[in-house]
Amino acid sequence: MIKYLTLLKVLEALRKEAPEDYRIYHPNKDDLDKVNRANSRAYIHLLLKAKFNLLDFEKREKFVTDDSQDGGIDAYYIDHENKKIYFIQSKFRTNNDNFMNKSIELEEINKMDIDRISRGERIDKNGIKYNDKIQRLIQNLSEIEQISRYDFNVIILANVSSVLADAMGKLLNFPFEVYNYERAYEELVFPIVRGTVHQATNISVNLNLGSKNNYTMDYWVEDEEFTTSVQLFFVPILEIAKLMSSFKNSILKFNPRSYLGASDNEVNSSIKDSVINRSGNVFALFNNGITLLSDKTSYTSRTGREGIGELSLLNPQIINGGQTAYTLSTILEDDDIDNKVFDNKEVLLKVITFDQGMKDEVSKQRLIDELSLTTNNQSKVTVADRKSNSNVQIDFQKYIYNNYGYFYHRKTGEFTEGIEKGYISKDQIISRNTIIRIIYAMNGRVNAARRNGEDALYNMNDYEKFFNIDIGPEGYDRIYFLYIAFKYLEKKEKKEKKENSKSDYGEGLRYGKYAIINVISKFLTDEYFDKTEDSLNLIVDEILDQWKEFERIQSNKKSNIDYFYEKEEILKQENKNGKEKMENLVITTRVEDFDNYYKGSTINNDLNDYEFKITKIEETQS
């Protein structure tokens, strides 16, 4: 259900992008029929934005044909770069159950008059004229040069039953692809929230070969496992700004920071100043440059334009220099800054191209990780960010979203855009700082979870042992529910603070939440737990009821004398009359240092030795 609610938020945000005169996108919120109609059209916008990188509302709207007499075509898109023409049929469902389970009907597929429309027929089989947008589609098709080189494709943005899927090829006579609810969530909603719409593939960057500073150097690097080429170019900074502005997080897949994670840094101010306030090309002097990965790279000076060359990149990824590219894009997007500030300014671009014969994906990924790590060593990047692109981090993020609809925040700033645009709220984001502490706690390192900083935990030897790809779905489920339990504990703690009441659970909520998580993790078995939040809360409440007694026993153990002990203080008394000698008073006080106890050397063993019981749940199940 949470993923469907996220979808609705995304659709609402997309509707808000429509100018006010597009009334269909701004219905009265109390008119559910009109709201559903608006969401249905916004759902098409979602596909156009996420799949084809159409970021501007009006650019998307011109491809939406959904209306009466649309020939069964709700939208289309002409991809001139890849020479493909897409015809889109969409069916939005207005509640979670139908969105997941209801399939498109055969009748809807049969309505698609792709053959008639692509042949230029402007009326349907009943002699009725197609609507104006379909007429424009026909006109657009007629103006395509060498249309015989274009492939026709159909996209069904709806669930399709297995029976209908088997018959689709014959019904449509065109290649087709289906975006069912699962694919919509994974490939449309998630990338929109994360800011990774439309992966950057074939990209051309203009080179100003007329610059006296511009030159190219090629260098080959060989190793036992790989062969790569390294090429150096001086690229106009305007081209880098356009690249980042268009593709944002899509070209930062292997960068330790996300697009907006590169903001709010004093380095950015220095970069911006060298662009706006410095004349000449001093930018290349003061900037370290940008390192970019490419699967295939080519360049030529034979462009028919004097002094202009062209660099072509396949699947480009910036692994270093993200802050530079980000800052340049913000200057480009600032309407108050004249684009003339980019004139005659270039930046060093190092392009690393993988050998086309390098088919070992494991070796390739290892090389990418090493490149990302070493090229970012001079930047202030946290260890957690450096490890954010590891397989387990990516796999865990995908699993949590697909199965629970939450967004695991593995990379700094990656969901900032989603929050700013209202796609999601902060409570839908799972903090990686909390997750890594939970992982240490569930593995018996409670003191480390409580004591150490995030970077220290990622650097410890136990990190790879506790959090690796082999932990699998069962381990991911366990981590997720422990996170939900942690949030439940935080909620109880806030309630106590708000009511200014003395805790019924000793110092557990204040200092010992990770210790409590450790105990909870031991009861997340089939015997006690049915993977529901109600069941989880029963376990948490039962353990909390025993926590005060647990602390009482531990505070009286000799092994914990460093944290719990009697302390004598001498209170000196003055004899004001001077007649009698007064003895000083000795006051004994009890020290209970639970703060350091939960960080200390004995907590892990104390938790293992103490027998917690879950009785209420056993009674309920019996």
pLDDT (tens digit per residue) in 535-594: 999 999 999 999 999 999 999 999 999 999 988 887 776 666 655 666 777 788 889 999
- The range of the structural domain enclosing residue 251 comes to 202-379
Residues 160-189 pLDDT 10s: 998 898 888 778 888 999 999 999 999 999
Residues 161, 253, single domain; the answer is no
Residues 415, 481, single domain; the answer is yes
Residue 593 and residue 564 in contact, taking contact as beta carbons nearer than 8 Å: yes
Specify the 3-state DSSP secondary structure of 79. strand
Pick 595 or 498 by higher pLDDT.
595
Residues 320, 414, single domain; the answer is no
Residues 152, 96, single domain; the answer is yes
Residues 33, 55, single domain; the answer is yes
Instruction: Evaluate whether residue 354 is within a structural domain.
Output: yes
Residues 84, 102, single domain; the answer is yes
Instruction: Evaluate whether residue 427 is within a structural domain.
Output: yes
Instruction: Evaluate whether residue 115 is within a structural domain.
Output: yes
Which CATH number characterizes residue 61's domain? 3.40.91
Residues 200-244 pLDDT 10s: 666 767 666 666 555 567 787 776 666 788 999 888 999 999 988
* Residues belonging to the chain: 622
Cα(58)–Cα(44) distance, integer angstroms: 13
* Edge-first strand listing for the sheet containing 296-300: 202-208, 308-314, 296-300
Please identify, among 190, 215, 246, the residue that sits at the C-terminal boundary of a domain: 190
Instruction: Evaluate whether residue 142 is within a structural domain.
Output: yes
If one counts the domains in the chain, the total is 4
Instruction: Evaluate whether residue 397 is within a structural domain.
Output: no
Residues 373, 327, single domain; the answer is yes
Instruction: Evaluate whether residue 398 is within a structural domain.
Output: no
Residue 382 and residue 454 in contact, taking contact as beta carbons nearer than 8 Å: yes
Residues 500, 471, single domain; the answer is yes
The pTM of the full predicted model, rounded to 2 decimals, is 0.80
Instruction: Evaluate whether residue 447 is within a structural domain.
Output: yes
Cα Rg of the chain, angstroms: 31
Q: What pLDDT, on a 0 to 100 scale, did the predictor assign at position 257?
A: 66
Is the pLDDT confidence value at 378 over 50? Answer: no
Residues 454, 499, single domain; the answer is yes
Cα(332)–Cα(334) distance, integer angstroms: 6
- Mean confidence (pLDDT) of the chain: 87
- pLDDT band for 598, please (50, 70, 90 cuts): very high
φ and ψ of 588, to 5 deg: -105, 125
Q: What pLDDT, on a 0 to 100 scale, did the predictor assign at position 540?
A: 96
Instruction: Evaluate whether residue 390 is within a structural domain.
Output: no
Which of 269-273, 324-328, 549-553 is modeled with the greatest confidence? 549-553
Closest listed residue to residue 201, CA positions, set 296, 104, 76: 296
Mean pLDDT of 11-37: 95
Residues 66-84 pLDDT 10s: 999 999 999 999 999 889 9
Q: What pLDDT, on a 0 to 100 scale, did the predictor assign at position 576?
A: 63
φ and ψ of 289, to 5 deg: 100, 180
Please identify, among 190, 213, 244, the residue that sits at the C-terminal boundary of a domain: 190
Residues 487, 452, single domain; the answer is yes
Residue 3 and residue 185 in contact, taking contact as beta carbons nearer than 8 Å: yes
Residues 168, 27, single domain; the answer is yes
Pick 105 or 279 by higher pLDDT.
105
- pLDDT band for 486, please (50, 70, 90 cuts): very high
Please identify, among 379, 398, 422, the residue that sits at the C-terminal boundary of a domain: 379
Residues 444, 495, single domain; the answer is yes
Structure tokens at 89: 């049929």
Q: What pLDDT, on a 0 to 100 scale, did the predictor assign at position 199?
A: 63
